[in-house]
Structure formats: C-alpha cells, structure tokens
C-alpha cells in the first residue's frame, strides 16, 4: 500500500470510527433512558426525567471527548507529556540518548519530514516506543528507557523506522482521535461509579433509589462501552502494526534489526510492558509492542511470534520459550555504540527519474534513501548542528541562510532582523553569516529540518516575528530567489502545522478540476524555474497540465506569477483528495524536468513544493 492509498484508507477508517462512536453514544443514551423509565415508574414526570438523563449522558460523553481532544490539541508533545515522558535535549552527550537523536535525525533528513520532538519514558524497563501527533511538524517519538539500554543500533533503527511509518502514513491523527473518542465513553462509567458511591451515603436512601439505579446503569454502560471500544481499538491497531512493520523493513538495511527488537521483547522478562498501567491503557494502540497483558481478543498488536516470523521465516512459536530460557540467566547484548554504516558518498550529478517513480517514492524510504540521509547528516558541520539544535540559536542559523554577503544589503537585512526579533538576535545572525554561507547548498534545508523542533517551540509571537523577518530578508533586494522561496515557505508551513495541528491535518476532498487556476499558477512557476528558456518552460507546462488533466484543453501558460501570489494556491492544493495529490505530484515533476534528469536545485524545489501540500519526498539527491 503506497503513501496516497494508505492516507485514503486512514481517512476511511476515521469515518468508520466516528460512525461507531455515534452509534455507541446513542445506544448508551437509550439504555440509560430505559433504566430511568423503569426506576421512575409511579414516581412522577417520566418525560422530564428522560430529558434530563439523556442530556446528562450526552454531556458526560461528548464533554469528555471534547475535553480530552482539547487537552491533546497540541499533538505529539501533549500526548507524550500526558503519560509522563521526559523531553530529550537534542544537544545531549549521553551516549544512549545521542544514538537515539542521531538515528531519528538521519531518518528525518532522508524522508523529508521535519525533525520530530523526542521523549523518553524513564524507569520503564520494557522495550517500547510510540509516535504521536497530527502532522509531521508536531510529531513526537517516545521510547522507553529499556529500549535505549537493551537495543543495538540496528534494532533501535528498526523500531524508529516502525514509528516513522506511523508519522508518514497518517496513522497518528487516527490514534489521537481514538484517545478522545474512547475517553468520553470511559468517563461515563467513572461518573456512574462516583455517583453510585455517593448515593449510598445519605439518610433518604429510598428517595435516592432512582438516582442510584441510573448511576448503576451509567456505570454498566460505560464499562460495557469500554469493552467494545477495546475491540474496535484492537482491530484498527493490529492492521496498522502490520503495515508499519512492513514499512520499517522496506527502508532499513535489513529485517534483522526489527526482528531482533521483537525477539528481545519476546524473550526478556520485562518484554514490552509498561509499569504505569494508566499510561499503558491510554496509548496501548500507539505502542510498538503490547504495553499490558491482553487476551488475544483485546490485543492491539498481532501475536509477537507472527510478527517475528514475517521477518524471519525460520522462526516458530515454540522458539519463544527457547529465547526466554537462553536469556533468563544471560541477557542478550545491548547497545553496540553509535556506529556508522557504509555511508553513500555525496551525489551532485543529476539523476534520471520519471513522474511515476517520484510519486511512488512519496512517503516511503529505501535503504539507499536512508544511506543518503545518513550521508547528509554526517556532512553537517558539528558546530552548525549544535547551533541548529539549541533553542537560543536555531532561529539565527535559519535567518543567516537568507542574509546576503554584500555589505550595504546585509546592513539593511540585519536592521530588519533587529526590528522584528531584537538586537541580540541580529547580532547572533551577523556572527553566523560567514559560517552559514560556507555551508553547502544541499545541506541547508536539511539543517532547517533539524532546527524545526526549536523553531516550533518558540512562543507564538516569536514564531510570527520569525516568519515576517524571513520575508523581509528575502525581499530586501526586491526579488525572491528560488532557494529563498523554498526556505521561507517551508519554515512558515512547519510553524503553521505545529501551531494548529488538528485542523492542518484534516484530509482534503477537492478534485483537480476544482483547482484549475491554482494548478496553472503553480505549474507555471515550476516550469519557469526548472527549465532554461520560455519555449522549454511552455513545453514543460503543457506536458505537466496534460499529465494532470488528460484529455482536457491545455491553457496558455500565463506570465510567471509573483512568488507571493503562489501563497494563496498551496492551501487549495493541500485540500486535494489523496489520490488526486498523486497526479499533482507527478505533474509537478513533469514541470521541473527539461531533460528527464533531476538536478539538486530542482530536487530542492520539488521537495519544498510537495512539503507544502503535505506529501513528504525522500532525499532524491544527496
């Protein structure tokens, strides 16, 4: 299942969950109403009681759902914090944490998504992990302390690859919605239990009998609802875990890493269990392995021997006991250091691609992509890397990429930075201009991706000032270069995604025929940027439009639109239906190609354009 199909399936699953939730709510109200009618026989106005009971039941369930969803509105970090996870300092020198950070940074660069925030569940000896968030920009990846201390680098990479599949595949939004939906039903049972406990204390127990009966009914309905909610959660989660395992194997170097992590879960006493039962229950459907002991009926993951056998066909269920006996007295080897695996050399020559090849690569990774990501990561100068991962200097690094070396223009740009962000930031940018200017062009956007968590972590007013300052710097010379547009719009989109992840992650349903004006504007800009002259650009534009709207008349290519006018096009194109976006991506590839080969600047433009419509592309050129 490719990226676009998987996202379409995720949307269908979300719709089914909403329908099931509505049915569950209506059934809950009906059952409690029946109990209320029985309890009020001969006691007065039954109709009025039914109205009050129905309204109260709806208030508890819907209120609980909305309240929980609102608490998690900030996405991945909120989910991680809710279960007691501790943020990881990206500049850490702790060997285990450094290895974790490096593995995720390499995958982030390779996959074309912003660096997620990283968390650790302390004092959890089980091997487990989960990814949470609405979009890649607000994503958080959490691992247990046991995963860091007991997994080798290849095994950790396999686990992180599994979680990255959830980040790229649209699973995270579904997971957070599950938490909110199921919390409302659970709250009904808790409220019923509380009222029932209080109902037996008063002196007028006979008068309180109807209230006690209704509370008992709410408690029963709530817990029965949890029973069926658990079944739904398990069914949804199991299928997605199979897909994530397959995706992790697709782009890690070998299946042994993921299989090794699963074998350690199966063979070590702690397994994947979480000591904190509350946390394990709330995020059970997100975890890499089972967080609690479940019967197979409620298991949120496929049986572990089946997951291992899918990676190692020689493995049998009977081998589980063999692993447990072997490691009972002699635990398996753990981390083997932050070793580097055969990095691919930097590639600067154009590479031959087809539109179909690029769209097939969207949201996926191959071993070659991972090698490119590791190669790019290793080429980032240590000092620049440290500055990009520090909250106090990350924005300065990004701003310095747009500052010109010409003295007069540079002074104007620094004055704009000072006006927007203060004199301290202006001085910091000024000190970094020469060092950042020496950074190879192909490393600049990867560095922006590494800096993303530090940018999204700034207060809202500082984020707005940063975006405005980037626009000021890009326009200081009266024109916006291709690189400046890619950088400023990528940063803006990342900050917008992180600020309002719930709404920015909503799937679209627009057809390409409904966005003709926006498509023409974007394809025109891409054709003019990716081709040497106007005639070649018109030819590329016509081919791109024909690819997207087969059989439709090809309009005349207009004069190139101003970059700022393009900003209104991206939200419309982001609202395209998932499978329609596949055609858009392929058309954009056609628009930038003039000779069937992708140069580094064209690849940079293409990745930025795709990112603006939430289609992550791997690093096609390192």
pLDDT tens, position by position, 145-196 = 999 999 998 889 888 888 877 776 656 666 677 777 677 777 777 777 777 6
Residue 604: per-residue pLDDT: 81
Over range 119-132, report the average pLDDT: 91
pLDDT over 60 at 346, yes or no: no
Residue 226: per-residue pLDDT: 67
pLDDT over 90 at 530, yes or no: no
Q: Phi and psi for 140 in degrees, rounded to 5?
A: -135, 135
Q: Phi and psi for 144 in degrees, rounded to 5?
A: -85, 160
131: left (phi over 0), alpha (psi -120 to 50) or beta: beta
Residue 533: per-residue pLDDT: 83
Number of helices (H), then strands (E), belonging to the chain: the values are: 28, 6
Q: What is the rounded CA–CA span in Å between residue 365 and residue 110?
A: 7
pLDDT over 70 at 11, yes or no: no
Residue 570: half-sphere exposure toward Cβ, Cα within 13 Å = 21
For residue 31, the tally of other CB atoms under 10 A from its CB is: 17
pLDDT over 90 at 406, yes or no: no
Q: What is the rounded CA–CA span in Å between residue 454 and residue 105?
A: 14
Residue 250: per-residue pLDDT: 56
Residue 256: per-residue pLDDT: 77
Specify the range with the lowest mean pLDDT, choosing from 70-74, 339-343, 521-525. 339-343
Check: CB of residue 279 under 8 Å from CB of residue 291: yes
Tokens of 544: 């791109």
Length of the chain: 622
Mean pLDDT of the chain: 80
Confidence of residue 344 (pLDDT cuts 50, 70, 90): very low
Residue 211: per-residue pLDDT: 74
Q: Phi and psi for 342 in degrees, rounded to 5?
A: 25, 70
Residue 340: per-residue pLDDT: 46
pLDDT over 50 at 484, yes or no: yes
96 Cβ contact list (under 8 Å, min separation 6): 148, 149, 335
% the chain with pLDDT above 70? 80
Tokens 């029946």 appear where? 34
Q: What is the rounded CA–CA span in Å between residue 323 and residue 261?
A: 12
Over range 536-564, report the average pLDDT: 86
Tokens 């650009």 appear where? 537
User: Residue 551: helix, strand or coil by DSSP?
Assistant: coil
Please report, for the chain, the start and end positions of each structural domain, with discontinuous segments joined by +.
Answer: 1-339, 380-489
Q: What is the rounded CA–CA span in Å between residue 621 and residue 516?
A: 31
Torsion angle in degrees (nearest 10) through CA of 219, 225, 227, 230: -130
Entry pTM: 0.78
pLDDT over 70 at 205, yes or no: no
pLDDT tens digits for range 377-404: 999 999 999 999 999 999 999 999 999 8
Q: What is the rounded CA–CA span in Å between residue 223 and residue 190?
A: 9
Over range 368-377, report the average pLDDT: 83
Active site residues per annotation: 163
Over range 269-283, report the average pLDDT: 78
User: Residue 284: helix, strand or coil by DSSP?
Assistant: coil
């Amino acid at each position: 299942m490719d990226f676009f199909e998987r996202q379409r399936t995720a949307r269908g699953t979300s719709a089914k969950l909403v329908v099931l939730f509505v049915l569950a709510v209506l059934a809950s109200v009906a059952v409690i109403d029946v109990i209320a009618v029985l309890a009020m026989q001969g006691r007065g106005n039954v109709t009025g009681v039914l109205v009050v009971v129905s309204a109260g039941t709806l208030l508890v369930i819907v209120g609980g759902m909305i309240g929980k969803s609102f608490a998690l509105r900030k996405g991945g970090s909120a989910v991680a914090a809710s279960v007691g996870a501790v943020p990881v300092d990206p500049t850490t020198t702790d060997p285990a944490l450094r290895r974790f950070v490096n593995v995720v940074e390499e995958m982030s660069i390779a996959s074309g998504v912003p660096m997620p925030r990283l968390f650790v569940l302390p004092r959890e000896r089980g091997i487990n992990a989960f990814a949470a968030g609405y979009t890649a920009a607000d994503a958080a990846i959490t691992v247990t302390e046991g995963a860091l201390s007991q997994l080798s680098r290849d095994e950790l990479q396999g686990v992180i690859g599994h979680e990255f599949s959830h980040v790229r595949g649209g699973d995270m939004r579904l997971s957070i919605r599950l938490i909110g939906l199921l919390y409302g039903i659970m709250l009904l049972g808790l409220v019923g239990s509380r009222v029932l406990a209080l109902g037996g204390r008063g002196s007028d127990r006979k008068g309180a009998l109807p209230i006690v009966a209704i509370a008992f009914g709410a408690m029963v309905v709530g817990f029965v609802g949890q029973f069926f909610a658990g079944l739904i959660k398990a069914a949804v989660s199991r299928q997605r875990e199979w897909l994530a395992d397959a995706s992790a194997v697709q782009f890690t170097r070998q299946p042994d890493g993921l299989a090794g992590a699963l074998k350690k879960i199966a063979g070590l006493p702690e397994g994947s269990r979480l000591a904190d039962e509350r946390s394990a229950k709330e995020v059970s459907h997100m975890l890499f392995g089972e967080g609690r002991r479940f019967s197979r009926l409620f298991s949120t993951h496929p049986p572990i021997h089946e997951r291992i056998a899918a990676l190692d066909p020689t493995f049998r269920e009977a081998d589980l006991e063999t692993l447990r006996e072997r490691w009972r007295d002699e635990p398996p080897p753990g981390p083997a250091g932050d070793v580097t695996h055969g990095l691919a050399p930097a590639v600067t020559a154009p590479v031959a691609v087809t539109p179909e090849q690029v769209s097939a690569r969207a949201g996926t990774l191959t071993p070659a992509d991972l090698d490119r990501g590791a190669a790019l990561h290793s080429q980032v100068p240590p000092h620049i890397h440290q500055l990009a991962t520090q909250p106090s200097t990350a924005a300065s690094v990004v701003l310095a990429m747009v500052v010109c070396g010409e003295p007069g223009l540079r002074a104007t740009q620094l004055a704009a930075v000072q006006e927007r962000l203060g004199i301290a930031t202006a001085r910091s940018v000024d000190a970094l201009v020469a060092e950042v200017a020496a950074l190879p062009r192909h490393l600049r956007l990867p560095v922006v991706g590494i800096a993303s968590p530090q940018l999204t972590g700034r207060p809202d007013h500082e984020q707005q000032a940063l975006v405005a300052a980037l626009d000021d710097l890009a326009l200081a010379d009266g024109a916006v270069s291709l690189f400046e547009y890619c950088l400023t719009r990528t940063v803006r989109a990342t900050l917008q995604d992180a600020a309002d992840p719930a709404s920015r992650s909503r799937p679209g349903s627009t057809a390409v025929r409904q966005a003709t004006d926006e498509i023409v504007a974007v394809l025109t800009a891409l054709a003019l940027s990716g081709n040497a002259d106007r005639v070649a650009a018109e030819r590329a534009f016509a081919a791109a439009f024909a690819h997207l709207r087969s059989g439709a008349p090809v309009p005349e290519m207009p004069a190139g639109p101003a970059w700022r006018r393009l900003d209104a096009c991206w939200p419309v194109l982001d609202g395209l239906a998932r499978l329609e976006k596949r055609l858009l991506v392929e058309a954009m590839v056609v628009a930038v190609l003039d000779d069937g080969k992708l140069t580094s600047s064209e690849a940079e433009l293409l990745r930025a354009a795709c990112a603006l419509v939430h289609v992550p592309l791997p690093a096609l050129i390192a």
